Amino acid sequence: MSITATLRLLIAFAILVLLNYTLRPLLGWRTPMDFLIIALLLASVRVRPGVAALIGCAMGLAADSITPASFGWGALAMTAVGYSASWLKAVFFADNLLLNGLFFFLGKWVYELLFLIAARRLHGAEMVMQALVWSPLSAAATALAGIFLLVLLRPLLETSPA
Amino acid sequence: MARTARSGTRLDTVLFAVCGAFSLLFAGILPGNVRESFAAGLRRTVVAPLVSLQRRAELSRSAFLTHDAITAQRDSVAVRALGVAEIESENRHLRALLGLGAKLQWGFVAAEAMHAEDTHARTPSEDYTLTLTAGSRAGVRPFSPVVAPGGLVGMVRSVDPTMSLAITWADPDFRVSAMTADGSAFGIVQAHLGTGPERFLLELRGVPFRNTLTPGVLVVSSGWGGVFPRGIPVGTVLGEVKTAEGWARTYLVRPAVPPPEISSVMILQPQRVSAGVETVWASVIAADSAARKVSAAGDSIARLAAQEEVAARRAALGTDSLAAAQQAAVPKTHAESVAVATGAIVSRPTPVPARPATPRPATPKPTDSASARRRPPADSARRTAPRLDTLIPSTIPSAQPTGGRQ
């Protein structure tokens, strides 16, 4: 990846991180969109799986620092998502918005499931409800936001002709 | 090439394993205090700006969500605040009415007064009509006086069992025999029937020409005629109205009870009218009397002070220094001046007349009462005395304390 492309990716990444800490709490939805996952997935498909795992781990730790009760579990889930996304980029790395939306949806849902299973903060019906209702809804919101942002940030994220 | 790819894959796997192990280390292996200290370190450094952003965003959201509720709350408070002045006014009026009831003690009927606008029976004549919520069953009779804490409101014209109609003083047919509070002048009060600001004013007509009333004089009912008892405040004199009548004066009177303030009233029953109500508004009349005396005294003092100033200037200029010295010899105290102004009889020493043999430019005025009042008092003479010191002694033949002038 060229320096220009790396800079563009960093700018897009910073915008998404900022959106996660400004727009998300401002909206305050019950099924919030996760801009960190979008940022992780966008970065993961552009770097090697090991680097993606590293980015996921760093982002997860930073995000977990605000919720000390589940500190580490989010990092673990993000590491897994980042690594997997980087491996699966051959499948999803296409200039198709719907495929990218599906990619965001799966990434977010898998992250939620991993987090739920690993952190074990919910049990029984509540956990099922979270895993099968709220998490997919949140993943859908994330996917829609991801598609919207892909359109908006296309000048930053498109690959250079060289 | 294939070896490079394999080594890259191996490196990725190692990195993934390290990251996973690192995350697991924090998630389940390290004790809580170590985990918390690491998280706190992140919060204070890398994540601090993001946490600050998140806090502000949450504050903005809560402000946005509570804005409507706060606006609705503020609007309701504003609406209530708008009514507070009216409630306070009504409260003040009702308290005054309670005070009037306590003073009257007996022989009255309390009633609410509804204006023509309230009853939707709007004709030109009904601008001056009140509908009272008390009728013959409560003891109201035709021609009963209607009063408010401020004074006279009107008179009952017709009575039904449960309600009655009254005309206010603004009615063109309304008349009440009136007098000044001190009883020095009598006349008939009726509506002025002016336009604009003068619409709701009264006229005191038929005041003898010899009686001059100053603005602010209280006018009360005289008790003549039998309808209105003596001593109900009608209004205060605003000024004289020039009319074609040469034998009497007419004065414009500001009513004691303006029409908009008529809401709750008292209807006096015939027995109470017979018994009189002079003691009810006695404090108002006494206050008016005292105010007039204080005002007159103040005017007198101001007039005398002006005269003192003129005399002092004249003395200083030396144009009439000897006349000033003679005036200084006339004893007159400040208290006398006030008493003169208030009309009290004060014994005064006879002024020394000017000697005809030696006429001076400043000969004293004749000693009639009017000129005596204009004379500067003794204290003003004392003020001018030091100014005499500035004159050349040789020009004053005998400036003795006896006050004689040669």
Question: How much is the ipTM here?
Answer: 0.87
Q: What angle do CA B341, B343, B348 make, to 5 degrees?
A: 80
DSSP A70: G
* Cα-Cα end-to-end distance for chain B: 145
- Mean pLDDT value across residues B125-139: 82
State the Cα–Cα distance between residues B180 and B222, nearest whole angstrom: 8
> Which has the minimum average pLDDT: A2-16, A101-115, B163-177, B311-325?
B311-325
In this complex, the residue of B14, B39, B58 whose CB is nearest that of residue A65 is B39
Q: What angle do CA A11, A15, A19 make, to 5 degrees?
A: 170
On whether any CB of chain A is under 8 Å from the CB of B299, the answer is: no
What dihedral angle (degrees, nearest 10) is formed by the CA atoms of B207, B209, B210, B213?
50
In this complex, the residue of A54, A60, A66 whose CB is nearest that of residue B51 is A66
Among candidate residues A156, A160, A161, the one with its CA nearest the CA of residue A43: A156
In this complex, the residue of A28, A71, A86 whose CB is nearest that of residue B61 is A28
> Which residues of chain B make contact with A55, given a CB cutoff of 8 A?
none
pLDDT over 60 at B342, yes or no: no
pLDDT value of position A113? 92
Q: Choosing among A79, A114, A120, A121, which should be mutated to test the B contact, i.e. which has the most B CBs within 10 A?
A: A79
* pLDDT, tens digit, 9 for 90 and up, residues B234-285: 999 998 888 777 788 899 999 998 877 788 899 998 888 888 888 888 776 7
State the Cα–Cα distance between residues B148 and B233, nearest whole angstrom: 10
Q: How far is CA B321 from CA A155, B325, B326, B362, B399, in A?
A: 105, 6, 9, 9, 11
pLDDT value of position B385? 37
In this complex, the residue of B23, B35, B61 whose CB is nearest that of residue A68 is B35
CB-based contacts of B309, cutoff 8 Å, min separation 6: none
CB-based contacts of B339, cutoff 8 Å, min separation 6: B346
Residues 39-58 of chain B whose Cβ lies under 8 A from any Cβ of chain A: 39-40, 42-43, 46-47, 50-51, 53-54, 56-58
pLDDT over 60 at B176, yes or no: yes
Nearest CA in chain B to A23: B57
DSSP B400: -
pLDDT value of position B323? 53
Residues B144 and B270: beta-carbon distance below 8 Å: yes
Q: Write phi, then psi, for A137 (nearest 5 degrees).
A: -65, -45
pTM to 2 decimal places: 0.48
In this complex, the residue of B12, B42, B60 whose CB is nearest that of residue A26 is B60
Q: Which residue has the higher pLDDT, A105 or B336?
A: A105
* pLDDT, tens digit, 9 for 90 and up, residues A98-146: 888 988 999 999 999 998 888 877 788 888 998 999 999 999 999 999 9
Predicted confidence band of residue B102 (pLDDT cuts 50, 70, 90): confident
Predicted confidence band of residue B117 (pLDDT cuts 50, 70, 90): low
Q: Write phi, then psi, for B346 (nearest 5 degrees).
A: -125, 130
pLDDT value of position B321? 52
Read off the tokens for B121.
């029976």
State the Cα–Cα distance between residues A118 and A113, nearest whole angstrom: 8
Cβ contact, residue pair A62, B28, below 8 Å: no
- Mean pLDDT value across residues B193-213: 83
> Which has the minimum average pLDDT: B247-261, B314-328, B342-356?
B342-356
Q: Write phi, then psi, for B183 (nearest 5 degrees).
A: 75, 15
State the Cα–Cα distance between residues B130 and B114, nearest whole angstrom: 6
> Bridge-partner residues for B130, per DSSP?
B115, B166
* pLDDT, tens digit, 9 for 90 and up, residues B285-304: 776 667 667 766 777 777 78
State the Cα–Cα distance between residues B170 and B142, nearest whole angstrom: 18
Write the single-letter amino acid at A134.
W
pLDDT over 50 at B152, yes or no: yes
Residue A65: CA atoms inside 13 Å, Cβ hemisphere, count?
19
Q: What is the DSSP code string of B320-372?
A: THHHHHHHHHS---HHHHHHHHHT-----PPPPPPPTTS--SSPPPP-SHHHH
Cβ contact, residue pair A25, B47, below 8 Å: no
State the Cα–Cα distance between residues B113 and B128, nearest whole angstrom: 12
- Mean pLDDT value across residues B36-64: 90
CB-based contacts of A70, cutoff 8 Å, min separation 6: A64, A115, A119, A121, B27
Please count the other Cβ atoms lying within 10 Å of the Cβ belonging to residue B256: 25
Cβ contact, residue pair A68, B28, below 8 Å: no
Nearest CA in chain A to B59: A26
Task: Give the DSSP H or E segment for B251.
Answer: strand B248-255
State the Cα–Cα distance between residues B327 and B342, nearest whole angstrom: 23
